[in-house]
Structure 1
Amino acid sequence: MKTKNGLAPFLPFAFFCLFVGVSFFVTPLLWAQNTGTSSKKAEKHYEEAMQSFKIRNFEKGIYELKKAVQNDPDYFDAHYELANNYKILNKTKEHLIHLRKAAQLNPQDSRFSDMYFQYGEVLLLQDGDYTEAEAQFSKYLTMKKEGRYSKMAVKHLATCKYALEGMKNPLKFEPKQMPDPLNQFPLQYFPVATADDEEMYFTARLSNQRKDYEDIYHTRKIDGVWQAPTLVEDLNTPFNEGTCSISADGKTMIFTVCEGVPERRVIGRCDLFISYKKGDKWTKPQNLGENVNSTAWDTQPSLSADGRTLYFISDRKTAQTIGGIDIWYSQLQADGEWSPAQNLGIPINTAGHEVGVFIHTNGRTLYFASDTHIGYGSYDLFKAEKLPDGTWEKPQNLGYPINTFSDQSGIFVSADGKKGYYSDLKMDDENMFYSYLFEFELPQEAQAKTQSRYVKGTIYDAQTKRPLGAKIELYNLETQKPESLLASDDKNGSYLFVMNEGGKYALNVNKESYLFESQSFDFSKEAQNLTIDFYLKKIEKGSKVVLSNIFFETAKWDLKSESITELDLVVKYLKENPSIKIEIAGHTDNVGSQASNQNLSEKRAQAVVEYLKDKGIAQERLIAKGYGQTQPAHPNDNDENRAKNRRIEFEIL
């Protein structure tokens, strides 16, 4: 999430492929005769340094310049050249020391106006000194209102003012390095987790040397404790694999590949590949193809919870391109192909760079990093909410101290919106990079407006108890539209899907030659994570299932609009199985008289049959029957059980 010294926050792919940060330029000395010192010794060392630099002997040149400032501590030329050469060598501490000294020695010389801009950038992006940086940018603009860095100086001035104001109201932000046995590598970054927060994948390198390639690692939480990470052998090769994203259930992964090998052909500099988890094994990765990948740099994927919408980063140049690096997206179509990638557009993308994209499990909140939206430095983290019409609201800066003068990028937020994961990149005195995984409680101001909850479990054959692979459809009962479509694992029967708070949902589980099962969820009230197993019955005489998503007003038999989704699924099921006949049975609890309950159950059953007939199901295939309170599924001893007894059942005749 945080970087120093301008290293691009988009680490993979490959780790050192892009370098973004403080501008570097060398302004030639404008006085050839006056070297700015009265010390002959200092002048001699300076001249020897210049000769050394001509033959690229930086070590000797810096040595001579240091001797020059020892002889004359106020020697502007020597400090200025030391600053420039330390910048070339990426010695940030020394660069700042001598640049500061040079600016102090020559504070108002318009011939060196670019130096004040450079000094302001160093103060802003390396030191976080917004007050002094603001003064330097103002000084530069006073001298060069139309200078080559004027537009950037104006932007930096706005950053300084924004940061100084934002720091007056800091958010509660207390990141903690994730405990052992995690963080055992010199470099690990871009963590992603399943919606239940039980599994995590991340990219790691065995050392911070180029000779070690990136690989994808996996860790699992057991009894609340993360286990030692293991290499995902099914996906890794002797080359680079990294920057992955997974669906909420952890069964679909998209990751980045840059080196083409015979079994993994790449279209561009880096491509996105997809793999599916079957049991404990991942399938052979497949290139997502030209609808997604380009001849450019395509990386940093973020997959929606249901695995059907993909967001990613690309620097491709097309008619849609807005900036240097933009966020793009593609959607999985009914035929199993991914749609042609589209630029996410304004107001998300800018003329600059947007990286580190993450779509929350709610499908409505986008987190990303930008170096152009107003913030605290170079790359800041932002979030934006998707509006009902499909457009995006203006991005919101996550605030201080989540964002600082250092680069921030690559955040993952849990389904409930309360926890964040990221990697923190550091550089040591030897210019070696290290990064470790951190977690933190996300401040309320930075949380998604809509939180998510998950439902998970296993689907079995009711008789044999054998795990089944089955199709699972989730519908929004208020809109009567499908929200997601997924399948349970055909090896172990497991499933997991996400629902957003504030809605009512219907779940339909079906498999060929089995009777379907349904379940309803009211998340319009307080929601919680659930574990539910389903036992599917074979289609045979006497098999029955509760239609959990048929709703009536109290003591009435008029079908509520929320019932339409389930009723249409019954219609579809009967049309796909034209030989079966069914009984629709109505049941009540024991509240009220037995006679009134009998009458109510009969009329409710008949209301369902009439709907099915209106949709084209023949009368001779349908029987409506009411059982009143005579066949309770549970004791009528509390409100929850009585609600379960008020039901419509579907039985094969």
Structure 2
Amino acid sequence: MYRLLLIFFCLLPAAGFGQKITSSTNRLAQKHYEQANQAIGGKTYNKAITELTKAIAEDDRFVAAYQQLADIYRRLNDYPKALVNYKKVLEIDPEFYNLTYFGIAESELNTGDYTNALIHFKKYASFPGLSDESKIRTAKYIADCVFSIEAVKKPVSFKPISLGSGINSNQDEYLPVVTADEETVIFTRKVNQNEDFYTSVKNQDKWLAAKSLSANINTFEFNEGAQCISPDGNYLFFTGCNRPDGLGRCDIYISKWEGSEWSKPFNLGAPINTPGWESQPSISADGRTLYFVSTRNGGRGGYDIWKSDLGTEGWNTPVNLGPQINTAYDEQSPFIHPDDETLYFSSNGWPGLGNKDLFITRRKEGTGWEKPRNLGYPINTFREESGLSLNSSGSLAFFASDKEGGSGGFDVYSFEMPDNLRPNAVTYVKGMVYDKSTKKPLEAKIQIINLRSGNFAFDDVTDPVEGEFLATMAPGNSFALNVSKPGYLFYSQNFTPNLQQAVKPYMIEVPLQKIEVGGLVILNNIFFDTNSFELLPESTTELGQLISFLKENPSVSIEIAGHTDNVGDDKSNLTLSENRARTVYNYLTSKQISPTKLSFKGYGESMPVTDNSTEEKRQNNRRTEFKIMKK
């Protein structure tokens, strides 16, 4: 009977005390039991189950066989069957083995019977001689039970809706991510144990039949999964395992949309990837911070969440998110919302309802991350929840589940996120850049700068075929949009989205005009206080763009023009407009722009672009612009 020690497969913490071992007087039952032990030693658990079932059929009071069978089922995560057999052990002999109480409690926790799980964990914790590891693990599970009992009493709103037959099939579909405009979704589908990416586009409120993402990315011999997409839909970060160019078992790769096809992916390399395991990337809205999961040295548990910032020479050395996020257990599936402040992830280390639960944390300036908060029941259950993503407004969440009533296996669902679990709402600007004369789409550089911080919210180029771009912006900030292309005048725009407008995107067209004498550019991001000609600090971004333009086009000469609305008398407005134009002129010359390339003039209220009937129209008339005088 010494072989009974094999039943725990190193799953349970060391107990530090003995067990009461019994055997069957039925010789045939005992023979099946010993054959089961041999099967366990060879890790052929199905055979062991068969032999133990036969042993119990010969002797239905064979307590050791029930214990053995319960532990195998628990090892295979078949907790309902494990429960049946643990209960039989306690029915026959409650004093048979102290670790039975741990086994039945863990099985109850993982089937949602939190009240009985708490009773049995406490019973196990009361036994003398527990190791420190046992005490820590049991205390963690007790905290899970206490949390779960209260969470079930206070359910959160949760009404999942299938994304439909265009996406879901009788195969497994999971890990959905959507673009900021919610027009495209990319997800993983497993077919014959091979994981590939599929994509679907939305037609009104219906997702169309999904197609394989790209032959450049999907392969027959390797798995592709655990992906994220940049809000504009142009960059795909994903996990590739066991590839010839890999640094470890699983690495993070990137592919770029090139107008009509995805590029061949390339390995991000060191320091993101290591000989260890890197996976589950999530990219910030500005494309400059990558969150991911790794088993590298320096972590706090088995799987930790790390981040790396993009520097001038590539990705910086990753930093562990630390004890505010990571525990001694596993944290996975990070999703950083485009607000760049709200992080969702899964964990079995923070108090939860069993297995892995979904959590939310928010970054506060200067204090790091808030304590993670469980999303609650029934978003979380005793099953594993992971792979959550949200739309830009934060109102809609996407996830995968194998819940009953689906198309088969895991399916993709969405649900309305409860208000108190939402990130900060984010809007977006979606535009198309084209040649003003020919109307043909242009590949142009797009920069969107937060005027308060000076940081880029977006810095990329338009789709080379369609001339389109999409970038997210957080309400409560002012943003400068600059569009430029060699041989063309640049274009500027200003956005100040507020919370009420958060769900209403900006849709714009950008007609770029070639550099010609008489060409005119309104400098929408040069700012003055009312009745003042002193430049505000937010103006430096636009002025820097103008300086770059003049340096890139050394033969060009411009006139800087100031304009006002019709509020006040003509003379005062003329003087104010000229002083503002002179201020811009002086700034440019102070930055080594030759005065021979510059002139300035104030036009007062004499050249309005619209009437002055509303404040918005008057604001349009209060402007600074420049005109090409010499090409």
Give the TM-score of the pair, scaled to structure 2.
0.90
1:435 counterpart residue number: 410
For the Cα contact (< 8 Å) 1:309–1:330, is it kept in 2?
Answer: yes
Separation in structure 1 between the aligned mates of residue 441 and residue 22 of structure 2, nearest angstrom: 87
For residue 620 of structure 1, give the secondary structure of its aligned residue in structure 2: helix
| 331, 337, 345: which one aligns with 2:309 | 331
Q: Is 2:206 the counterpart of 1:229?
A: no
Residue 57 of structure 2 corresponds to 67
Structure 1 residue 215 corresponds to structure 2 residue 215: no
1:242 to 219, 225, 230: 225
Structure 1 SS opposite 2:100: helix
Which residue of structure 2 aligns with residue 497 of structure 1? Answer: 471
Distance 1:606 1:403, change over 3 A: same
Letter in 2 for 1:453: T
Equivalent in the alignment of 2:180? 195
Contact kept in structure 2, 1:504 and 1:524, CA below 8 Å = no
The corresponding residue for 1:487 is 461
Identify if the C-alpha distance between structure 1 residues 633 and 291 changes in structure 2 by more than 3 Å, giving closer, same or farther. Answer: same
Q: Aligned-pair RMSD on alpha carbons?
A: 2.7
Could you say which residue in structure 1 is the equivalent of 2:445? 471
Number of residue equivalences: 607
Asked if the contact 1:52–1:60 (Cα under 8 Å) also holds between the matched residues in 2, the reply is no
2: CA distance, partners of 1:331 / 1:31: 57
Matched, 1:575 2:560: no
Structure 2 Cα separation of the partners of residues 514 and 305 of structure 1: 28
Q: Note the alpha carbon deviations across 1:287-316, whole angstroms, 9 max, x for none.
A: 111221111121111112232221111112
Aligned amino acid, residue 283 of structure 1: S
The one-letter amino acid of 1:228's match is A
Q: Per-residue displacement from partner, 1:242-271 (whole Å, max 9, x unpaired)?
A: 22111111111111111324xxx1111111
1:4-33 Cα deviation digits (max 9, x unpaired): xxxxxxxxxxxxxxxxx9946999995556
CA contact (8 A) 1:325 1:355 kept: yes
Say if 1:334 and 1:25 are closer, same or farther in 2 by CA, change over 3 A. closer
Please give the per-residue CA displacement for 1:532-573, whole angstroms capped at 9, x wherever unaligned: 111111122111110001122233333223222222322232
Whole-angstrom CA distance in 2 between matches of 1:143 and 1:636: 84
Q: Deviations over 1:348-387 (max 9, x none)?
A: 1222111111111112211111111222222121122223
Normalised by the length of structure 1, the TM-score is 0.87
1:588 paired residue number: 564
Name the amino acid aligned to 2:51.
Answer: G
Counterpart of 1:136, as a letter, is: H
Q: Secondary structure at the match of 2:36?
A: helix
Closer, same or farther: CA 25–395 of 1 in aligned 2, 3 Å = closer
Instruction: Tell me the amino acid that sits aligned with residue 516 of structure 1.
Output: F
Separation (CA, whole Å) in 2 of partners of 1:81 and 1:550 = 76
Residue 184 (str. 1) matches residue 169 (str. 2) = yes
> Is this contact kept in 1: 2:23–2:62, CA < 8 A?
no
Query: How far does the alpha carbon of each residue in 1:112-134 deviate from its partner, in whole angstroms, 9 at most, with x for none?
Result: 11110111100012x11111111
Deviations 1:89-109 (A, max 9, x none): 6543322112123224433x2
What is the distance in 1 between the residues matched to 2:368 and 2:622? 42
| Structure 2 counterpart of 1:64, one-letter code | K
Q: Quick one: which amino acid aligns to residue 549 of structure 1?
A: N
Shift of 1:180: 2.0
Q: Distance in 1 between matches of 2:441 and 2:380?
A: 47
Give distance in 2, aligned partners of 1:216 and 1:178.
16
Structure-2 residue corresponding to 1:153: 138
Once the 2 structures are TM-superposed, how far is the Cα of residue 644 of structure 1 from its aligned partner? 1.4
CA distance in 2, matches of 1:457, 1:185: 38
Q: Is the 8 A contact 2:33 2:52 kept in 1?
A: no
C-alpha distance in 2, partners of 1:553/1:323?
A: 54
Among residues 471, 481, 504, which one is paired with 1:507 in the alignment?
481
Q: Which moved more, 1:584-593 or 1:492-501?
A: 584-593
Q: Matched residues in 2 for 1:600 and 1:549: separation?
A: 18
Percent identity for Structure 1 against Structure 2: 38
Is the aligned partner of 1:321 residue 2:296?
no
Structure 2 partner of 1:138 = 122
CA contact 1:182–1:229 (8 Å) conserved in 2: yes
Q: Does 1:106 align with 2:93?
A: yes
Highest relative contact order (Cα 8 Å, sep 6+), 1 or 2?
A: 1
Structure-1 separation of matches of 2:10 and 2:609: 70
Q: Measured at CA, do residues 506 and 423 of structure 1 come closer, stay the same or move farther in structure 2, by a change above 3 Å?
A: same
In the alignment, the residues of structure 2 paired with residue 55 and residue 321 of structure 1 have an alpha-carbon distance, to the nearest angstrom, of 38
- 1:426 to partner: Cα distance: 5.9
Quick one: which amino acid aligns to residue 303 of structure 1?
Answer: I
Instruction: State the secondary structure of the residue aligned to 1:554.
Output: coil
CA deviation map 1:273-297 (0-9, x unaligned): 1111011211111111122111112
Q: How has the CA–CA distance of structure 1 residues 346 and 25 changed in structure 2, closer, same or farther, with 3 Å as cutoff? A: closer
Q: One-letter code of the match for 1:230?
A: K
Give the counterpart of 2:341 among 356, 361, 364.
Answer: 364
2:431 aligned with 1:446:
no
Distance 1:611 1:478, change over 3 A: same
Q: 1:63 to 1:326 in 2, by over 3 A?
A: closer
Question: Which amino acid in 2 is paired with 1:181?
Answer: G
- The residue that corresponds to 2:268 in the other structure is 288
Give the direction of change, closer, same or farther, for the CA distance of 1:510–1:22 in structure 2 (3 Å limit).
farther
Distance 1:32-1:128 versus aligned 2 partners, 3 A rule: closer
Q: Tell me how far 1:227 sits from its aligned partner.
A: 0.9
